[in-house]
Amino acid sequence: MKKTSLSLLTIICIVISGFSKVCANDEITFWTTEVEMDRLDTQREIARKFTKRTRIGVRIIPVHENLLAERVTAAYAARSLPDVIFHPIDFTIGWGEAGILDGRSATEVVNRLGEETFSNGPLNLVRVPEGYAAVPIDGWGQLLLYRKDLFNNAGLAVPDHWDRILQAAKVLHNPPLIWGFEVGTDPGQTYTQQVFEHFALSNGVRLTDSSGNIHLDTPQMVQVLEFYKALAKFTPPGNIYWLHTRMDFLSGRAAMIIWSPFILDELSGLRQDQPVVPDMAKGKKGFLARNTGFVSIIYGPNGAAQYGQINYLGITRDADVTKAKKWVEFLLTDGYLEWLGMAPEGKLPVRKGTLGEPNRFIDGWMRLRFGVTTRVRISEFYGMDLVKTIMSGMDGLDRWGFARGKGALISRVYGTKVIPEILKRFLNGEISAKEAARMMERRVKALE
């Protein structure tokens, strides 16, 4: 009878929703911003496999990303943080400095799995004195999408340099049929910051100078502002953000946009809930995918860069450290490809493989299938050129401030949207480029 009772307890602890107190010593809590039902199902399945192997239960708690900071702050104050938090880089350094994350434990996981098995960029962005504030799990590099068919017909070069981008925008601009280049102009949207920051990084503009001082009032920043304003002339009027650029590109009304790889799903034409280019009405499934080119690294007059977004697994100060580290390690080993498979077009492997199989996860990711009504491999649908393009940028992904220890400040910059606000005033002609650069530096310094 006693043996039966223990077996039942094990079964109860494997169920990851609604734990009883009897399981409290054998479970950890995992907060995730992957809240869609199909993705939650995947995470629960990974947790079941982990529990079966370790007898450690995992309670999956979905938290919407826009509520994550608030929930974490409240839990920190109450000393009731979850054991592990899946979160974007925007919060990592700030939470590390606040004592919310346990950088020592994260570093031990990275060292145990093998530092060299991770892409350099995602690790460098969260480097702290004790090692790393959290463990990178997936990410994406921002892409410039362009209509290859239109470029070929007009004899235009691949738009990977500023001058080529501007030339193509001028040549292909024919509103209202097609806009030359749609940039973000909505001051209330993070998307505007992401697009602007990509171009700023490509011209060597960083948040700080070599001494760590905020330094945005530079000739290079003035160049970025003037270039961005030139592109905005080929953008529809009004406050444009990600929804407009995506819809216009998918409907054939934009020659170039900046977007994340998550658009690959819609671009494929395999979804029935998205508009398609008129040519596809003839039954040419995949027309837009075949005629879209991708640029990962943009070259400006004074630099080159690819903006990236990385997601991390943070082990918290309140965690059961031993169990939490096992869960994180499992997610990055036996559970990794299943995790990436939730949305392979936007979840690129930041861990390339294992010490014994250096390309295990890259090779596995290429075999994953995306789509909704029809599922295919990315490499089969888009070809190996795209796979190489989006994977090649992972080592060099860049962001303002994180590598210079300004992650907490960047969280405030993104939260207040101070950069898009000033940018919009410049685009409207209220202030000059020089005034905008000076204002950006002053306002960001005030947030420190």
Q: Are residues 115 and 90 in the same domain?
A: yes
pLDDT tens series, the chain, 448 aa: 333 333 444 444 444 444 433 344 589 999 999 999 999 999 999 999 999 999 999 999 999 987 898 899 999 999 999 999 999 998 898 899 899 999 999 999 999 999 999 998 899 889 999 999 999 999 998 999 999 999 999 999 999 999 999 999 999 999 999 999 999 999 999 899 999 999 999 999 999 998 889 999 999 999 999 999 999 999 999 999 999 999 999 999 999 999 998 888 788 766 555 555 555 444 455 678 889 999 999 999 999 998 989 999 999 999 999 999 999 999 999 999 999 999 888 899 999 999 999 999 998 998 888 765 556 777 777 777 777 777 776 777 889 988 787 888 988 898 889 999 999 999 999 999 999 999 999 999 999 8
Residue 128: beta bridge partners? Answer: 131
Tell me the C-alpha distance between 60 and 410, whole Å: 28
Q: Which of 320, 346, 379 is the last residue of a domain?
A: 379
Same domain, 263 and 169: yes
- Tell whether 65 and 147 lie within a shared domain: no
Residue 234 and residue 334 in one domain: no
Do 133 and 257 fall into the same domain? no
Verify that 163 and 16 share a domain, yes or no.
no
User: CA 298, CA 411: separation in Å to the nearest integer?
Assistant: 24
Separation of alpha carbons 397 and 312, rounded Å = 15
Q: pLDDT tens across 321-360, in order? A: 999 999 999 999 999 999 999 988 889 999 999 999 999 9
3-state secondary structure 245-258: HHHHHHCCCECEEE
Beta bridge partners of 214: 208
DSSP 156: P
Does residue 387 belong to any structural domain of this protein? no
Shared-domain flag, residues 303 and 169: yes
330 vs 47: CA distance, rounded Å: 9
Residues 347 and 435 in one domain: no
Residue 197 lies in a domain: yes
Within a domain: residue 278?
Answer: yes
Determine if the peptide bond prior to 176 is cis (ω within 30°).
yes
| Same-domain check for residues 215 and 159 | yes
* pLDDT attached to residue 267: 82
Number of domains in the chain: 2
- In CATH, what number is assigned to the domain containing residue 167? 3.40.190.10
- How far is Cα 422 from Cα 430, in angstroms, rounded to an integer? 10
Are 33 and 120 part of one and the same domain?
A: yes
377-414: burial string, b at 16+ Cβ within 10 Å, e else: bbbebbeeebbebbbebbbbbbbbbbbbebbbbbbebb
Segments forming the whole domain that contains residue 295: 142-307+396-447
Q: Are 396 and 121 in contact (CB under 8 A)?
A: yes
Q: Does residue 388 lie within any of the structural domains? A: no
